[in-house]
A = this chain, B = another copy of it.
Amino acid sequence: MRIPLNRNSSVPLYRQIYSFLKRQIRSGKLPPETKLPASRAMASSLGVSRITVCNAYAELEAEGLVYARAGSGTYIAHSQDSFLERKAEFSATRDWPMWQQELLSRTWEPVHNEMDELITSVDHPDLISFSAGLGAKELFPIDEFGRTMRRVFRRDGSAAMEYGDPAGYPPLRETIAQILTSQGVPTGAEEVLVTSGSMQAIALVAYLTLRPGDVVLVESPTYSMTIDLFRSMGARILGVPVDSQGMVVEQLETALQASQPRLIYTIPTFHNPTGTCMSGQRRRMLIALADRYNVPILEDDFAGDLRYESRAQPALKALDPGGQVIYISTFSKMLMPALRVGSLVASGPVLGRLLALKRTMDLATSNLMQRALEAYITVGRYQAHLRRACRFYRRRRDVMLDALERFMPTGVQWRKPNGGLFLWLQLPEGCSADELFLQSSKEGVVFAPGSFFFPGQRVKHFLRLNFTIQTSERTLEGIERLGRAIGAYLSSRSDTLSESLETKVFHTTV
């Protein structure tokens, strides 16, 4: 190879070689997979030192223009453009690596993907959705929080942007402990671990206590994301039924004896998805059983603050003096989801392990968000906001209850939830909310089909309605549409039923 070199130039020789080769490669004169002369040979033919050639080759290699094949030499690489082409070609023609295919076969099928796909597949110009899992956007204290955040930037400067204490910003831990204590869960700041939302708290407890094959007891139905979580870990999920008084704890002992679970996960207050509250008696029974069978309880109090009437039952954590209960709560529902701040309260050595595990999962929850939240809630705004939210949601709940009375066909049942976000609607036995979904979405109204909340066999005749997210007008309109859709669905079914009845009768007579 003949490379013109200018020995009087200020450009180093290796750089001249590099530039020449680069131009050749770019122009296609040196096509991919061409072998370059060995450095020794090139050096000799150019009358330069071997180091000079090596430096030039190294520069080219660093840019991805050439590559060294061990024991063989240096070759022209495929350019970035052709890399993209190769990549596209690859995706189209070859299978993904074996380990990727193995992963698909040995891991779980996420419920949430299915639910999202169903809900986002709906195409209606004026859709009214009751499916979401969060509170009303109108209540997000955007302006006040924005101002608080500005104050924190000014007050704390770069300190707000460091990692911070992995257990949480100490003044925020103090505030959370005070709020919980005032709500009847006596808590010390040292027992509080700040988490990235309550979902992270659930995941931490799950990963600490469960190994593949271990059993976890949950309410059936339960929060659908935890079904994905437990399945993803290879845990076995055992559901305990729910009635108007929450988890049917009377059935728990049999399950405890039979399955030796490693964890009980429960949402005792304004249960997701059914909206029910566990009775005081069952709460005490649950604690006693967990203690006797040596199983930790994970108490998810995601919406305990959102109480619209009737007296609160004590939290499980408040009934447990001995480190049996791990208690979690969140600011996502009460304030805003994008804070991504929740908390976990635990007593005993388990707390240190949860902290260590949290660090391996995301190092720490955003220091900035924690400081802004602490500045926001210590000035009494949290309590004021809570009172306002409860009044607001209570009104919306009542609007939905009235609308249900007006528009639901006979045979559809529900209970009035005393708090939280959700109302659980029951269709006549044998109906399928999954089928209804397809009809109702044509009417322009959707909900969360109940079947997604069952960890075992999917019970189909329930649906979850979020009563907090639509305005009164939209709630009325949406429930009217839903009533129409259910009416149509039921009558189409009764046609089918009477048909099948006729068929049956026919068959019987024959």
For A350, list chain B residues within 8 Å (CB).
96, 100, 103
Instruction: Indicate whether A232 reaches chain B with its CB closer than 8 angstroms.
Output: yes
| Shortest Cβ distance from residue A355 to the other chain B in the assembled complex, whole angstroms | 9
Q: Are A203 and B360 in contact (CB under 8 A)?
A: yes
Specify the main secondary structure of chain A where it touches its partner. Answer: helix
Knowing A157-B142, A340-B366, say if A99 contacts B281 (CB, 8 Å). no
Question: Of B97, B107, B207, B349, which is within 8 A of A104 by CB?
Answer: B349
Choose among B153, B199, B285 the residue that contacts A363 (Cβ–Cβ < 8 A).
Answer: B199
Residues of B within 8 A of A369 (CB): 338, 366, 369
B186 engages A87 (CB within 8 Å): yes
Question: CB of A134 within 8 A of chain B?
Answer: yes
User: For A63, what are the chain B residues with a Cβ–Cβ distance below 8 Å?
Assistant: 311
Copies in the complex: 2
Name A80's contact: one of B164, B186, B209 (CB within 8 Å). Answer: B186
Whole-angstrom CA separation of A143 from B67 in the bound complex: 44
Asked if B59 and A311 sit within 8 Å, CB to CB, the answer is yes
Contact with B along A91-125 (1 / 0, CB 8 A): 10010111111011001001011000000000000
Q: Is A368 an interface residue (CB 8 A)?
A: yes
Residue A379 at the chain B interface, CB threshold 8 Å: no
| A338-B160 contact given A58-B311, A100-B349, CB 8 Å threshold | yes
Interface residues of A in 120-179 (CB under 8 A from B): 134, 137-138, 140, 142-143, 145-146, 149-150, 153-154, 157-164
**Contact between A68 and B280, CB atoms less than 8 A apart:** yes
Q: In the docked arrangement, what's the CA distance between A107 and B337, Å?
A: 32
By a CB distance below 8 angstroms, the chain B residues around A338 are 160-164, 366-369
The answer to whether A52 has its CB under 8 Å from any CB of chain B is: no
CB of A362 within 8 Å of the partner chain: yes
Q: Does A48 contact B (CB under 8 A)?
A: no
A16 within 8 A of B: no
In the complex, the answer to whether B225 meets A284 with C-beta atoms within 8 Å is no
Assembly CA distance A312 to B321 (angstroms): 58
Residue A253 interfacial (CB < 8 Å): no
Contact with B along A273-311 (1 / 0, CB 8 A): 000000011001100000100111000000000000011
**Do A146 and B142 contact each other (CB < 8 Å), given the known contacts A356-B232, A360-B225?**
no
- With contact pairs A150-B146, A158-B140, A362-B340 given, residues A314 and B64 touching in the complex (Cβ less than 8 Å): yes
Report B-chain residues with C-beta under 8 Å of the C-beta of A203. 360-362
CA distance A61 to B349 in the complex (A): 31
The contact size tier of chain A is 35 or more
CB of A339 closer than 8 Å to a CB of B: yes
Do B228 and A83 touch across chains, with their CB atoms under 8 A apart? no
Name A's B-contacting residues (CB within 8 A).
Answer: 58-59, 61-64, 67-70, 80, 83-84, 86-87, 90-91, 94, 96-101, 103-104, 107, 110, 112-113, 134, 137-138, 140, 142-143, 145-146, 149-150, 153-154, 157-164, 184, 186, 196-197, 199-200, 203, 207-209, 211-212, 225-226, 228-229, 232-234, 262, 280-281, 284-285, 291, 294-296, 310-314, 318, 321-324, 336-340, 347-350, 352-353, 356-357, 359-369
9 contacts between A and B (CB under 8 A): A61-B313, A70-B281, A90-B322, A96-B348, A104-B349, A162-B336, A199-B361, A229-B360, A232-B360
